[in-house]
Copies of this chain bind each other. A is one copy, B any other.
Amino acid sequence: MNGTHEHNQPIIIFDPYPRSKELIFRQTQWQRLQSLGQIVCHDENPIPSEIFDRHLPDAVAVIGQTDLPAERLERATKLKAILNVEGNFKPNVDYDACFRTGVQVLSAAPAFALPLAECALAFAIDLARGITIADREFRAGREKYGLESNREAFLLTGSEIGLIGFGNLGRALLPLLAPFHCHIRVFDPWLPDEFIKDHHCEPAGLDDLLSTSKVIFVLAAVTSKNEGFIGERELFLIEPGSVVLLMSRAAVVDFPAFLRCVEEGRFQAATDVFPVEPVPPDDPVRRIEGLLLSAHRTAGMREAFYRIGDMAVDDLALILSGLPPVRMQAARRETVALYRSKPGRSYKKNGL
């Protein structure tokens, strides 16, 4: 990278922290990335400012979520793309400047949609049929057979379904639900009714959805505008016997109220997300019977991480050849500043 004869190749700054090169790139895909430019690679921890700043004027792309305030972007005159290899948009970038100058801002969120959707479906059937609880009872010698163990069970087929949020996750889940021939309500205040109808779902208000759905998937991203929008009042609208799948972010619900509802048997639930992660060892959440516990693990599969690398190289290749990216999620000028997801986990310490 410090040679001189290669000074005509475009510079790609690779600063994936808290991700890592090993986490997101198969060897073949990394080689393909190398064919696109000279890579300034900093993998163990965030790139030091002086290195970043030295290369920025020559960089066509930043892969990662390095701080890019206005003053940096001004010097990044060759920059064409910021490819965030996490699933979010942090407020450390002057997005307006990017949109103005035509820098593509992309996130890896779509890589996680299908892994999460598969789990969401399995969670729904698990709760509808008591699968995990029945296994636990069996191990404790308390299993019941046949109908005796199915008193609350219901078929997913034909159930009333509610999707709260209809972005990447909802659209990945929808095809998986198709063979169950359910009536599906969707609440998403960013989408017009007809958009939802075009997906053969019924647009619904939040209260209507909560009070009529037997299976409720919470798939909404957390933004500065919707934190805790599923509060106690909303949770109390849910019919007894329903099941709730909290898949996206804990912050969209009043989490303590959510847990109380499950403890009191108002509904059963599964959650993949928690307000504090890792969950403290003595957290009483671990003992709630009707709650299927998943340690923020439905999205973060090996395949999903590699998919990030695949998508990033594909999109960067398109951008460098003058075409629009199509695989990662493009930031939208109107909403990019609203997202409030927490940063992802660093895997580098444990060799991932």
Contacts and interface: CB of A to CB of B under 8 A. Distances in A.
B138 A129 contact: no
A154 B176 CA distance: 16
A118 B157 contact: yes
A125 B114 contact: no
Interface in A64-108: 96, 99-102
B23 A147 contact: yes
Contacts of A101: 100
Contacts of A125: 118-119, 121-122
Interface in A187-214: 190-192, 194-195, 200
A317 interface: yes
Contact of A151 (B191, B302, B319, B332): B302
A141 B179 contact: no
A110 to B, nearest CB: 9
A8 interface: no
Given A190-B323, A195-B326, A322-B334, A143 B302 contact: no
B139 A287 contact: yes
Contacts of A279: 138, 143
Contacts of A347: 146-148
